[in-house]
Structure 1
Amino acid sequence: MYCTKKITSDLIWLGGSDRRLALFENVYPIPRGVSYNAYLIQDEKTALLDTVDQAIAERFFENLEHALQGKPLNYVIVNHMEPDHAATLGTVLSRYPEATVIGNAKTLPMIKQFFPMEVEGRFQAVKEGDTLSLGRHELTFVMAPLVHWPEVMMTYDTTEKALFSADAFGTFGAMDGNIFADEVNFEQEWLDDARRYYTNIVGKYGTPVQNVLKKAAGLDIQYLCPLHGPIWRENIGWFLEKYKRWSTYTPEAWTAAIFCGSIYGHTENACEILTSRLAEKGVRHVRIFDVSHTDVSEQVSAAFQCSHLVFASATYNGGIYTPMETLLLELKAHALQNRTVALIENGSWGPAAARLMAKHLEEMKGMEQIAPPITIRSAVKEEQYRKLEDLADLIAADIAAEE
């Protein structure tokens, strides 16, 4: 049975949520599930903006049929071709053979790659600034390449002042009836998932996101309609500011995140000494992440959030402890930059982790070491304890100077 929601009298949400999926993109844990949003504009002509993942196909088609109210579907606007938003596109085109497909020059080749059907004769290519009239509603197309695929575009409804933003401004999490961000406690219950979504899915593409934010600044946006997560109709500027920080790799919080790769607990002991001293110096919200037990997507999100990062690793097989190296590779892949960092290594007979971690950091922009690496041989002794205290003093003073 259908379950649609009206955003305005003409704009209808006809998405749904998947609470059974364990890993988004078969990589990222989503214990709260995920939503897939699609939208229909009712006017003299009707326009469907994106489709959904195959997981909720049945509900989507019930929603679409109900929302059309017997009218033909005139346009299918494809803002993003990733399968979680386009897996049902082929079925839509088969069920509604008179619908014209709207996309940009990079959209059509991807449609042909995914679906073995003829689409050229019903495809209308658009470019930056092109418009489409539905009657009362006029749509303007905004290109957003590499946010986060090369074919991505956004659609702006000048009548409703609604920006359909593709994967930008999305978040993990299933929606429970409340489809608007102002209907939920977004900052307390959704922001962590929004940050984790951005940093892991879009984080590498900071410059393209900045380009889109500049375009968005020139639009009067009353509704921000992403393909995942709640729709924004209030306090939109607050969320745009988060994207500005994330896309410019600017910390949200002046505090320290400690990433700990410990085998028998001695490296972890060093991290606990460091955090205890930081707390004594007045640094708040310090967190230790066990790299072996915390999903790397959460660690990437924390690294984007925090100003100071400490990487503490055992030496393992003559190299970096494996989960720690995975984290560093992920941070490089997501282009994290402009952080103050410190290194701690442990090794019973041949400490090497700090030197090798430093090589990874050298390949990242603006990663400045606040102090020489601290080397532990097996367990923390008085000499290392004093160095950890000194490191805490340096980090605390640096944070205080920036706050």
Structure 2
Amino acid sequence: MSFVIKAGVTWMGKVDWELRKFHGEEYSTHRGSSYNSYLIQDQKTVLIDTVWLPFAQEFVHNLKQTVDLSSIDAIVLNHGEQDHSGALPELMRHIPDTPIYCTANAVKSLKGQYKQDWNFNVVKTGGKLNLGKKELTFIEMPMLHWPDTMLCYLNEDNIVFSNDAFGQHYAAAQMYNDLVDQSELYEECIKYYANILTPFSKMVTKKINDIVALNLPIDMICPSHGVIWRSNPLQIVEKYAKWAADYQENQITVIYDSMWGETRRMAEEIAAGIQMSDPQVVVKLYNSSRTDKNDIITEVFKSKAILVGSPTVNRGILSSVAGLLEEIKGLSFKNKKGAAFGTYGWSGESPKLLGKFLAEAGFSTMENSLGNLWGADEAACREFGQRFSEYIR
């Protein structure tokens, strides 16, 4: 499959309808994904990125249907991770001397992964590659989301090839932002940002400012995953700027796991207390053992505050809660508040442990947690929810 996105620019990627997990088992892809590669044909022919390794032979076969491989003058690798570079070894078997343009960190990455010393050409921000009538300009984007990442800008056509930035894991037959379900697209974009780019928000802000300062006309943004932004393409840049600024909505998320239903009852009564205190706030409840962790993290990203609950088990907490909190800690959320609760049958350590987890993850925590012996005390839980609502105002 390939299609022309502008005269002389062809999409050469792969739509992966079956993908349900990414980065090993770390990221859920309920709506599949795509691996976007782009072919620019001017006086010189340049390929931007490839596809994931399982589709390498298919990719090279399809590329041959569009262009004589020996006519490819250069390959641009915006990022060395396998979902972008996986087909490179297969392609280089056919055109082994073709120059590869990438950052210095990408050279290290590609050499480390593929044990090949190809014809690497290191580029830096402001570097250019003349194609004839058109020109590519390179802009380094370190830690968006890897140290080796960059994007490139095609003048004349005003296209940004943004790699992982501004993308989403979303398979679509019509791969333009104005032709897909807008609510689905938004859900996948914010999930992608929340789970992958949140720790690098300061760098996102800096790079957006750097790009804006260049005053480049942008007619299209072509990421490496998901749809191409051709209708009001800067809308996703504006969303990134908003999400990078310690984003939060008027929402509280309650996360829990439960053995016999008592911690669940606590969560529900605490939520009722919050709603009694503030009917306008959105409250959402999630059982961490029964809900996709990336979906929960997206809700945490949207929230101004969270509450986390678990029964005490062997002087600790349930594994689903512990695992989720470890993920949350690594994402370094800012400007959010939290509190802990739990049930217990004899020792009762879970609320204190959860409160410590939240503090270590950077949440401002309410001083007193709530622990209930044996079961949920409805009145105490509702009062706790009301106090928490007052705490976060």
Name the counterpart of 1:22. Answer: 20
Q: 1:146-183 deviations in whole A, cap 9, x for unaligned?
A: 1111111111112211111111111112122x111111
Specify the SS of the correspondent of 1:206. Answer: helix
- Classify 1:153/1:294 alpha carbon distance in 2 versus 1 (closer, same or farther; 3 Å): same
**Structure 2 counterpart of 1:16, which letter?**
K
Q: Does 1:332 align with 2:329?
A: yes
Name the counterpart of 2:202. Answer: 207
Name the counterpart of 2:104. Answer: 105
Q: Distance in 2 between matches of 1:392 and 1:360?
A: 18
Name the counterpart of 2:234. Answer: 237
Name the counterpart of 2:266. Answer: 270
- Classify 1:376/1:95 alpha carbon distance in 2 versus 1 (closer, same or farther; 3 Å): same
Question: Could you tell me whether the CA contact under 8 Å between 1:316 and 1:322 is conserved in 2?
Answer: no
Specify the SS of the correspondent of 1:234. Answer: coil
Q: Which of 147, 154, 159 is equivalent to 1:157? A: 154
Name the counterpart of 2:169. Answer: 172
Moved runs in structure 1, 4+ residues, more than 4 A? none
Name the counterpart of 2:354. Answer: 357
Q: Distance in 2 between matches of 1:96 and 1:62?
A: 14
Q: Does 1:148 align with 2:149?
A: no
Q: Distance in 1 between matches of 2:181 and 2:358?
A: 36
Q: 1:3-43 deviations in whole A, cap 9, x for unaligned?
A: 21111111111111122333112212223211100001110
**Structure 1 counterpart of 2:18, which letter?**
R
Name the counterpart of 2:253. Answer: 257
Gaps of 5+ in 1: 399-403
**Structure 1 counterpart of 2:197, which letter?**
V
Which moves more between the two structures, 63-72 or 39-48? 63-72
Q: Which of 196, 217, 241 is equivalent to 2:191? A: 196
- Classify 1:344/1:16 alpha carbon distance in 2 versus 1 (closer, same or farther; 3 Å): same
Name the counterpart of 2:88. Answer: 89
Question: Could you tell me whether the CA contact under 8 Å between 2:170 and 2:227 is conserved in 1?
Answer: no
1:286 Cα deviation (Å)? Answer: 2.0
Question: Could you tell me whether the CA contact under 8 Å between 1:337 and 1:364 is conserved in 2?
Answer: no
1:321 Cα deviation (Å)? Answer: 2.1
Q: 1:280-315 deviations in whole A, cap 9, x for unaligned?
A: 542354211101111222111111111121112211
Name the counterpart of 2:72. Answer: 73
Gaps of 5+ in 2: none
Q: 1:365-389 deviations in whole A, cap 9, x for unaligned?
A: 3x22246212211212255145235
**Structure 2 counterpart of 1:196, which letter?**
K
Q: Distance in 2 between matches of 1:67 and 1:347?
A: 65
Specify the SS of the correspondent of 1:345. Answer: strand
Cα root mean square deviation, aligned: 2.0
**Structure 1 counterpart of 2:16, which letter?**
D
Q: Which of 5, 9, 16 is equivalent to 2:7? A: 9
1:268 Cα deviation (Å)? Answer: 0.7
Which moves more between the two structures, 23-32 or 39-48? 23-32
User: Scaled by the length of structure 2, what TM-score is found?
Assistant: 0.93
1:269 Cα deviation (Å)? Answer: 0.8
Which moves more between the two structures, 307-316 or 201-210? 201-210
Q: Distance in 2 between matches of 1:12 and 1:19?
A: 21
Q: Distance in 2 between matches of 1:116 and 1:394?
A: 58
Name the counterpart of 1:318. Answer: 315
Name the counterpart of 2:305. Answer: 308
Q: Does 1:50 align with 2:49?
A: yes
1:97 Cα deviation (Å)? Answer: 3.4
Q: How many residues get paired? A: 389
**Structure 1 counterpart of 2:12, which letter?**
L
Name the counterpart of 2:116. Answer: 117
Name the counterpart of 1:380. Answer: 376
Q: 1:252-271 deviations in whole A, cap 9, x for unaligned?
A: x2111110121111111121
Q: Distance in 2 between matches of 1:381 and 1:368?
A: 25
Question: Could you tell me whether the CA contact under 8 Å between 2:60 and 2:90 is conserved in 1?
Answer: no
Question: Could you tell me whether the CA contact under 8 Å between 2:32 and 2:169 is conserved in 1?
Answer: yes
**Structure 1 counterpart of 2:38, which letter?**
Y
What is the percentage of aligned positions where both structures have the same residue?
28
Q: Distance in 2 between matches of 1:135 and 1:393?
A: 62
Question: Could you tell me whether the CA contact under 8 Å between 1:130 and 1:140 is conserved in 2?
Answer: yes
Specify the SS of the correspondent of 2:296. Answer: helix
1:69 Cα deviation (Å)? Answer: 6.1
Q: 1:209-233 deviations in whole A, cap 9, x for unaligned?
A: 2222122223322211110000111
- Classify 1:35/1:41 alpha carbon distance in 2 versus 1 (closer, same or farther; 3 Å): same
Q: Distance in 2 between matches of 1:102 and 1:319?
A: 51
Specify the SS of the correspondent of 1:314. Answer: coil
**Mapping 1:120-135, distance limit 5 Å:** 122-135=119-132
Which moves more between the two structures, 24-33 or 225-234? 24-33
